[in-house]
């Protein structure tokens, strides 16, 4: 059927939370009432780009973008725009005049994210129309498992969820391992704070991951696969289950796929929110029904994984690359990136940067290019201070390395890592001691407790960091942190403990002067740590509006209307509300 118009509605979690489902229902109702059901098609996509102003829809072919919609608005748009041909100006999205940013597409190269936001993730025909499952058909009809692995080797694809182990080598080990039953697992347990790369792919293009897993299963000789996805991703799980069912209905999962002597099926298993289950052995324990705790290695999963059988584990982004590599060739993929780090990488760029969100760029692009050309620069025009890559186990990279290429080797050289793709930008107002404390608090809380170095060591490090930030640092604290970091890194069982000291070690390496200022001078240079700062009111600037006193949660501010106000330091909890609400910037931090 040929439709006169298509309406895309954003299924982003933020839009759904704001009522996107009600708006969608209102759109369908209006289309039915106005007898437009044969002329207008409504499709849900994972994102349309402005979820902060959701619910959002885009009407094609003219491409009008409507935001901040209510069900009543939806009905009005159908009647005005589609029936009468008059776009509704008051609901149309407009780029904020205060953000004159360059378009990020100039330096982005979308491979994994190519279909995200363009297709209906719950409609397999949309994926097939974008050459979906052609790679699987090519593999089963024209290639041997060895040829598949060789194409992966040519591509140079490395695991996109951690240290970057060569994908072809991991597949080879699993293929060569003896065993009648083999498994493939997709690690979708994306637990890094602020990371949402895997979620976006599962919500926006689930069939690419299913196809990649099926190709991996053919290559290693597996017949069963598992998606392990954190329960905090309900939309991803719903979309994934729908996609698996459709793939089965179309004969793309199950017995004798494409008529070949190859059978493969998938199940979804939900994680219960434990960060440590992102570690592959803990993840397998969880699938098996046991408590998610890491095991000693060797043996490695490739030889003795799920239920003791050879198992291949990659993350969402790694599998999503596979169909593109098979379809377009390993050399095509290898033409992007650097000598040892091929292809593109998705990043969740966050923190003190103008344009936050999900990006995909060729590996080897510099930090400067990502922050300023893709991210639009540091928020508010402030000075760049550092970027933290690799999630809670990554390191903080200072300004002196702004022109460092972002790839596996260079990040490791400066004390950080690629990880799954976290990219947190920090400006001049960031306290690096507080940042180290934040990440140590996260990893300590997520430690499974199985091994002493991680369970006890991270707690001791956190206690020291808390003391330092509270203004109670002692001589020798820096040296103790460094000593503990070595014990934890060398003695921990899994990557969580081994990487937990990285934020502390990198900030000590590049921002040691801030630690010394906290401990010896009892000052926080960035004026962030509550135990080392004091809020005061400039008597010459205060106009006595009483706004600070009225908003203070602990009544720490005294003063009559139209008279200078004073903050009682003994009562003040350093929340910063007074500074936020002061209309004349009379409140300052000392």
* pLDDT given at position 1: 64
DSSP 370: I
Paired residues of 144 in beta bridges = none
Q: What is the mean pLDDT of residues 246-271?
A: 94
Cβ–Cβ under 8 Å, residues 363 and 382: no
* pLDDT given at position 413: 93
Do 303 and 167 lie in one domain? The reply is yes
Task: Classify residue 103: in a domain, yes or no.
Answer: no
* pLDDT given at position 105: 56
Cβ–Cβ under 8 Å, residues 74 and 27: yes
* pLDDT given at position 100: 44
Q: Estimate to the nearest angstrom the gap between the alpha carbon of 38 and the chain centroid.
A: 39
CB atoms within 10 A of CB 215: 28
- Last residue of a domain, which of 427, 460, 485? 427
pLDDT over threshold 80, residue 578: yes
Give the percent of the chain with pLDDT over 90: 67
Comparing 108-112, 207-211, 398-402, which segment has the lowest mean pLDDT? Answer: 108-112
Q: What range defines the domain where residue 561 resides? A: 534-589
Task: Classify residue 390: in a domain, yes or no.
Answer: yes
**CATH (domain of 83):** 3.40.30.10
Q: What is the mean pLDDT of residues 37-65?
A: 86
Do 418 and 464 lie in one domain? The reply is no
Overall domain count for the chain: 5
Give the percent of the chain with pLDDT over 70: 98
Do 193 and 329 lie in one domain? The reply is yes
Place 429 in a pLDDT band, splitting at 50, 70 and 90.
Answer: very high
Do 270 and 170 lie in one domain? The reply is yes
* pLDDT given at position 96: 61
Query: What's the angle, vertex CA 580, arms to CA 578 and CA 581, rounded to 5?
Result: 70
DSSP 426: E
Paired residues of 57 in beta bridges = 9, 66
Place 297 in a pLDDT band, splitting at 50, 70 and 90.
Answer: confident
> How does strand 57-60 pair with strand 64-66?
antiparallel
**CATH (domain of 576):** 3.30.70.20
CA distance 82 to 86: 8
* pLDDT given at position 99: 43
Do 259 and 133 lie in one domain? The reply is yes
DSSP 413: H
Assign 200 to helix, strand or coil.
Answer: helix
Q: Under the phi-then-psi rule, with left for phi > 0, alpha for psi from -120 to 50, and beta for the rest, what region is 292?
A: beta
Q: What is the mean pLDDT of residues 171-193?
A: 92
CA distance 543 to 564: 7
Q: Encode pLDDT of 475-509 as tens digits.
A: 999 999 999 999 999 998 888 888 899 999 999 99
CB atoms within 10 A of CB 301: 24
Radius of gyration of the CA atoms of the chain, in A: 27
* pLDDT given at position 311: 96
Do 287 and 153 lie in one domain? The reply is yes
CA distance 290 to 183: 18
Q: Encode pLDDT of 332-344 as tens digits.
A: 999 999 999 999 9
**CATH (domain of 417):** 3.10.20.600
**389, containing H or E segment:** strand 384-389
CA distance 79 to 91: 14
Q: Encode pLDDT of 116-138 as tens digits.
A: 888 899 899 999 999 999 999 99
Question: Which segment, 81-95, 241-255, 412-426, 555-569, is predicted with the most confidence on average?
Answer: 241-255
The reported pTM is 0.83
Place 2 in a pLDDT band, splitting at 50, 70 and 90.
Answer: confident
CA dihedral in degrees (518, 524, 529, 532; nearest 10)? 80
Do 502 and 479 lie in one domain? The reply is yes
Place 231 in a pLDDT band, splitting at 50, 70 and 90.
Answer: confident
Do 393 and 464 lie in one domain? The reply is no
DSSP 530: G
CB-based burial of residue 570 (10 Å sphere; 0-12 exposed, 13-18 middle, 19+ buried)? exposed
* pLDDT given at position 396: 94
Do 169 and 288 lie in one domain? The reply is yes
Task: Classify residue 102: in a domain, yes or no.
Answer: no
Q: Encode pLDDT of 300-325 as tens digits.
A: 999 999 999 999 999 999 999 999 99
> Long-range CB contacts (< 8 A, 24+ apart) of 239-242?
239/46, 239/121, 239/122, 239/202, 239/203, 239/206, 240/202, 240/206, 240/268, 241/268, 242/122
Cβ–Cβ under 8 Å, residues 344 and 362: yes
* pLDDT given at position 267: 96
- Last residue of a domain, which of 398, 427, 456? 427
Q: What is the mean pLDDT of residues 26-45?
A: 88
CA distance 69 to 74: 7
Comparing 46-55, 286-295, 345-354, which segment has the lowest mean pLDDT? Answer: 46-55
> How does strand 566-567 pair with strand 557-558?
antiparallel
**CATH (domain of 463):** 1.20.1440.230
Comparing 30-34, 193-197, 309-313, which segment has the lowest mean pLDDT? Answer: 193-197
Comparing 100 with 36, the larger pLDDT belongs to 36
Do 187 and 302 lie in one domain? The reply is yes
Task: Classify residue 13: in a domain, yes or no.
Answer: yes
CB atoms within 10 A of CB 328: 14
Q: Encode pLDDT of 369-418 as tens digits.
A: 999 999 989 999 999 999 999 888 889 999 999 999 999 999 999 999 88
* pLDDT given at position 101: 42
- Last residue of a domain, which of 521, 549, 580? 521
Q: Under the phi-then-psi rule, with left for phi > 0, alpha for psi from -120 to 50, and beta for the rest, what region is 202?
A: alpha
Do 56 and 134 lie in one domain? The reply is no
Using the Cα atoms of residue 579, residue 97, residue 358 and residue 406 in order, give the sign of their dihedral: negative
Place 197 in a pLDDT band, splitting at 50, 70 and 90.
Answer: confident
Place 98 in a pLDDT band, splitting at 50, 70 and 90.
Answer: very low
Q: What is the mean pLDDT of residues 102-117?
A: 79
Task: Classify residue 339: in a domain, yes or no.
Answer: no
Cβ–Cβ under 8 Å, residues 304 and 310: yes
Q: What is the mean pLDDT of residues 5-17?
A: 86
CA distances from 348 to 168, 320, 386, 448, 575 (A): 26, 17, 16, 26, 28
Do 458 and 569 lie in one domain? The reply is no
* pLDDT given at position 341: 94
DSSP 533: -
């Amino acid at each position: 059927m040929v439709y006169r118009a298509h309406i895309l509605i954003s299924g982003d979690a933020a839009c759904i939370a704001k009522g996107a489902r009600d708006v969608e229902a209102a759109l369908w109702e209006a289309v039915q009432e106005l007898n437009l059901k044969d002329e207008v098609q409504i499709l849900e996509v994972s994102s349309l780009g402005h979820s902060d102003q959701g619910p959002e829809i885009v009407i094609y072919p003219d491409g009008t973008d409507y935001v901040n919609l209510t069900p009543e608005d939806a009905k009005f748009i159908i009647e005005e725009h589609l029936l009468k041909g008059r776009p509704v100006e008051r609901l149309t999205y407009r780029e904020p005049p205060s953000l004159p940013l360059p378009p990020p597409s100039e330096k982005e190269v979308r491979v994994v994210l190519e279909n995200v936001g363009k297709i209906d993730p719950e409609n397999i025909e949309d994926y097939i129309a974008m050459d979906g499952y052609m790679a699987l058909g090519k593999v089963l009809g024209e290639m041997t498992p060895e040829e598949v692995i060789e194409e992966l080797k040519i591509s140079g694809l490395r695991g996109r969820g951690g240290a970057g182990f060569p994908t072809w080598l991991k597949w080879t080990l699993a293929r060569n391992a003896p065993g009648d039953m083999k498994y493939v697992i997709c690690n979708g347990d994306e637990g890094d704070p602020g990371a949402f790369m895997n979620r976006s792919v599962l919500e926006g293009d689930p069939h690419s991951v299913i196809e990649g897993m099926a190709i991996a299963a053919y290559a290693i000789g597996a017949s069963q696969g598992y998606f392990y996805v954190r329960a905090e991703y309900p939309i991803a799980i719903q979309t994934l289950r729908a996609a698996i069912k459709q793939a089965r209905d179309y004969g793309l999962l199950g017995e004798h796929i494409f008529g070949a002597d190859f059978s493969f099926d998938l199940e979804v298993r939900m994680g219960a929110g434990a960060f440590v289950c992102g570690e592959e052995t803990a993840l397998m324990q969880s699938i098996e029904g046991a408590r998610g705790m890491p095991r000693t290695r060797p043996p490695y999963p490739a030889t003795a994984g799920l239920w003791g059988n050879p198992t291949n584990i990659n993350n969402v982004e790694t599998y999503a690359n596979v169909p593109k590599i098979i379809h377009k060739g390993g050399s095509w993929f290898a033409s992007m990136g650097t000598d040892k780090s091929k292809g593109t990488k998705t990043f969740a760029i966050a923190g003190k940067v103008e344009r936050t969100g999900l990006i995909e760029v060729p590996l080897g692009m510099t930090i400067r290019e990502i922050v300023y050309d893709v991210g639009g620069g540091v928020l508010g025009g402030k000075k760049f201070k550092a970027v933290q890559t690799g999630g809670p186990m990554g390191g903080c990279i200072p300004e002196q390395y702004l022109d460092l290429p972002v790839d596996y080797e260079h990040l490791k050289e400066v004390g950080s890592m690629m990880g799954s793709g976290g990219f947190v930008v920090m400006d001049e107002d960031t306290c690096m001691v507080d940042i180290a404390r934040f990440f140590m608090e996260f990893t300590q809380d997520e430690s499974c407790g199985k091994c002493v170095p991680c369970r006890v060591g991270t707690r001791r490090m956190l206690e020291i960091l808390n003391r330092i930030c509270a203004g109670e640092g002692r001589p020798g604290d820096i040296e103790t942190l460094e000593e503990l970091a070595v014990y934890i890194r060398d003695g921990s069982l899994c990557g969580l403990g081994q990487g937990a000291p990285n934020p502390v070690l990198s900030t000590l390496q590049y921002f040691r002067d801030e630690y010394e200022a906290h401990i010896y001078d009892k000052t926080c240079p960035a004026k962030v740590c509550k135990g080392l700062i004091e809020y005061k009111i400039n008597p010459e600037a205060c106009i006595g509006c009483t706004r600070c006193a009225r908003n203070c949660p602990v009544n720490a501010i005294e003063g009559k209307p139209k008279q200078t106000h004073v903050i009682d330091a003994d009562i003040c909890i350093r929340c910063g509300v007074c500074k936020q609400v002061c209309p004349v910037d009379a409140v300052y931090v000392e």
